[in-house]
């Protein structure tokens, strides 16, 4: 399988705990994106990287959220001191930026439930 992979697929945690998600993009894709999707809504952009550099962060990304892509390959998204409002599906996407338009390919997501 050469698609975008995400781990874990499901995470249940208690309020106040820290969680970390991992995303492995399609090989050689230089851009990696994180989105959040709540039930019945479309995905909302959180942040994206080009290689190792974090180029854009949404205002949705509070100080409790941090994302890294240390070697320009996989990425991690950490949420500190989780709140019930953080419960959502966290989606990762990757793309190869060439020319005018890059097409984003999405992973299956990590579903977070905060109790």
Partner 1 sequence: GDSVTQMEGPVTLSEEAFLTINCTYTATGYPSLFWYVQYPGEGLQLLLKATKADDKGSNKGFEATYRKETTSFHLEKGSVQVSDSAVYFCALSPPPSGSRLTFGEGTQLTVNP
Residues that bind partner 1 (CB under 8 A): 4, 33, 35, 40-45, 48, 55-56, 58, 91, 93, 97, 100-109
Comparison of 80 and 106: residue with beta carbon closer to partner 1: 106
H or E segment to which residue 64 belongs: none
Comparison of 80 and 104: residue with beta carbon closer to partner 1: 104
Cβ contacts of residue 33 below 8 Å, gap of 6+? 45, 46, 47, 48, 49, 92, 93, 94, 95, 104
What is the nearest approach in angstroms of partner 1 to the Cβ of residue 20?
20
E strand spans, 1-115: 5-7, 10-13, 19-24, 31-37, 44-50, 53-57, 65-68, 75-79, 88-95, 105-106, 110-114
What is the nearest approach in angstroms of partner 1 to the Cβ of residue 29?
13
What is the nearest approach in angstroms of partner 1 to the Cβ of residue 41?
6
Comparison of 42 and 85: residue with beta carbon closer to partner 1: 42
């Amino acid at each position: 399988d050469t698609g975008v992979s995400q781990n874990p697929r499901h995470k249940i945690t208690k309020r106040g705990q820290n969680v970390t998600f991992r995303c492995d993009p399609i090989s050689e894709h230089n851009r990696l994106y994180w989105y959040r999707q709540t039930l019945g809504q479309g995905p909302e952009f959180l942040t994206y990287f080009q290689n190792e550099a974090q180029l854009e962060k949404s205002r949705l990304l509070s100080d409790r959220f941090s994302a890294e892509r240390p070697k320009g390959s996989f990425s991690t998204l950490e949420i500190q001191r989780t709140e019930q409002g953080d419960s959502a599906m966290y989606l990762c996407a990757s793309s190869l930026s060439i020319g005018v338009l890059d097409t984003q390919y999405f992973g299956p997501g990590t579903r977070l439930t905060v109790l």
